[in-house]
Structure 1
């Protein structure tokens, strides 16, 4: 209607400006309609037109929300497609709307001509039997035709809406990038929770089991085990708060874990619940912060695996800084019996590999010469 009213202002002087727009001649009204279509196309080129059009199409066309593009139209092709939809929607809709206003009263008048002489006079038809027989079916046919045309136009618009307002290749790429970023963030948080909480539970379980076995014989050992459990849980709660803090950022960019790094490895080893021979070569203080944090989690997961599967055997841990690389190697003797595997398997080694790959490094784990060895190489220049 706004575009059509502007069209009446343009066309009015050409066909006689004194006419009322709604009661004017057919030339006046259809001329205004012809002027309104380019104006609608121009409005459809604005980026904000697509979200408005998509909102209307979702409500009216019954198509799934995932079949429409999200956000304003940025590319030239997307704006042109939105403009085409806008012209089709408003242009065809205007014709159906006009017919819906004009046809029903006329059709009802035809239905009533046999009964009301005043209606026959208004329509200028005679009262012959032929008119009485033919005019009512004509009125009914006009109503049925209007319903059929309306249904056909609705189906046409519903089909074209998905084509013209659906995601373009650039939209699909942007959506895929958003999903990949969300998935990467979820995986990162899952690794943080798994490594932190999983290690703590393994250590606490081992300490509690050892304390229970010597409860009546070695009170001092029990006291040390309880102190280790207290320290482990306190540290894990602090780490858990840090990870939950990332979740509370609600998708804000730039969030980085603020958990422990390589400088906390000695404390981790001392509270691990398993004997660890630690050797450090180079200067761990020169390791970039993001690599240092990931290295701590890798060591933590390696110790957790030793706690779960190595039966308390000693662990050898080497950490070496060589040039622009950090190398981590952990070894422990293979247990005499095969370890009990959780249903579905664990996720620790997969997490270690993911951490290494995301930093541009590599990781390997397996049995070698009677020991279980985990080897990780982390370059300093890898991506965050």
Structure 2
């Protein structure tokens, strides 16, 4: 029994009923316009004009729901007043807005019916006990009458009327809560659109995470090694030490630009143009690696300037990650970098010494077998429909090889 009366004690029940009644009152703004056709047809009977006014009124109410703003406002109000978890409508789900007029019509109908009946019940409940109001009142339905005699029957009837008004509020609120997800919630098309929007956001954030990992990871690795080199040669070779410090400054500045852009995007702030690193920046990248003490042997083919767009940016990040891993996990010796722009593809490879016996698995490995670096590279290459390979190359070398499809002009 307590569970049955619990909805009568909740404020959300009456907030939902108030939401319905306010919708009914708001529809009165359209009633003067709905009465215009009946006014210009004075020869019609009263019943015909009344029906015509109601029909035009319903059409105007439904037409109001076709606006995109109306749907957004109704969803926000339903979330607040009804406590129904409704997502924001998808931007490209225009056809699903047609369910909004049906919601408005049912909303207004429930509001008017609930308001009239509940107000009538409250009025009867307050006027039946005439003993305290000083007014002789009563009700009569189908020959059965109840007059206010100030006795127990009057008070019981009054309490029943007030209780029925509260129960009606519960019924109206439950009806709206049942209708809201079906008419204001996402349809199948809207769910697909929302899923597509979320997928785009997640893909962009995933791309930013890869970019930030590559940039910051390379910068931290290179600057750590460069700082160590500068400290060792500071007295013996000040020129080399200054060069290493300049390289640290340039690397840190580039990483800060990337970090500022990524944080601005995540905070949904307006940022400047995204710092783009392409194959044109490859010589600068290899110079920073050389300043870190590595010996880089580069084999760059002609025609790299013709590689543009996403392929050029991805190629730079792949080579940056490969060189970073060579600095971090390599065992000295030259790092061989090859970039070949062919007619039907771009071939990239980074080979470095590991100081490990790949056949026996002893010694130092060049790369971890798992982690964000290799996984991020593999995913980046897969998205570009390329081929990815990373593994031992002979007894003491590690090779990273990537082929990206690209069409170059003849």
Q: Are 2:264 and 2:270, in contact at CA under 8 Å, matched by a contact in 1? A: no
Aligned pair partner of 1:80 in 91, 98, 109: 98
1:287–1:253 Cα change, 3 Å: farther
SS of 1:84's equivalent in the other structure is helix
Residue range with higher mean Cα deviation, 233-242 or 267-276: 233-242
TM-superposed deviation, 1:325:
1.6
* Structure 2 equivalent of residue 149 of structure 1: 168
1:307–1:242 Cα change, 3 Å: closer
Matched, 1:380 2:406: yes
* Structure 1 equivalent of residue 177 of structure 2: 158
2: distance between equivalents of 1:264 and 1:72?
Answer: 39
1:213–1:234 Cα change, 3 Å: closer
TM-superposed deviation, 1:109:
0.7
Q: Which runs of 5+ in 2 are unaligned?
A: 1-27, 357-362
2: distance between equivalents of 1:8 and 1:31?
Answer: 8
SS of 2:299's equivalent in the other structure is strand
> What's the C-alpha RMSD, in Å, of the aligned pairs?
3.7
Q: Which runs of 5+ in 1 are unaligned?
A: 18-26
2: distance between equivalents of 1:100 and 1:127?
Answer: 20
Q: TM-score under structure 2 normalisation?
A: 0.76
Matched, 1:271 2:253: no
Matched, 1:351 2:351: no
TM-superposed deviation, 1:121:
6.3
* Structure 2 equivalent of residue 120 of structure 1: 136
1:71–1:149 Cα change, 3 Å: farther
Aligned pair partner of 2:337 in 299, 310, 317: 317
TM-superposed deviation, 1:135:
2.8
Residue range with higher mean Cα deviation, 324-333 or 33-42: 33-42
Matched, 1:97 2:115: yes
TM-superposed deviation, 1:100:
3.4
TM-superposed deviation, 1:5:
5.2
Matched, 1:368 2:368: no
SS of 1:120's equivalent in the other structure is coil
Give per-residue Cα distances to partners, 1:53-89, cap 9 Å, x unaligned.
Answer: 21221111112243x63458611xx233212211111
Q: Are 1:360 and 1:378, in contact at CA under 8 Å, matched by a contact in 2? A: yes
2: distance between equivalents of 1:106 and 1:42?
Answer: 37
1: distance between equivalents of 2:91 and 2:77?
Answer: 14
Q: How does 1:239-278 map to 2 (within 5 A)?
A: 240-241=256-257, 244-245=260-261, 248=264, 257-272=274-289, 273=292, 274-278=294-298
TM-superposed deviation, 1:147:
0.5
1: distance between equivalents of 2:389 and 2:273?
Answer: 26
Aligned pair partner of 2:211 in 174, 192, 197: 192
Residue range with higher mean Cα deviation, 43-52 or 370-379: 43-52
Q: Are 2:103 and 2:183, in contact at CA under 8 Å, matched by a contact in 1? A: yes
SS of 1:323's equivalent in the other structure is coil
Q: Are 1:325 and 1:380, in contact at CA under 8 Å, matched by a contact in 2? A: yes
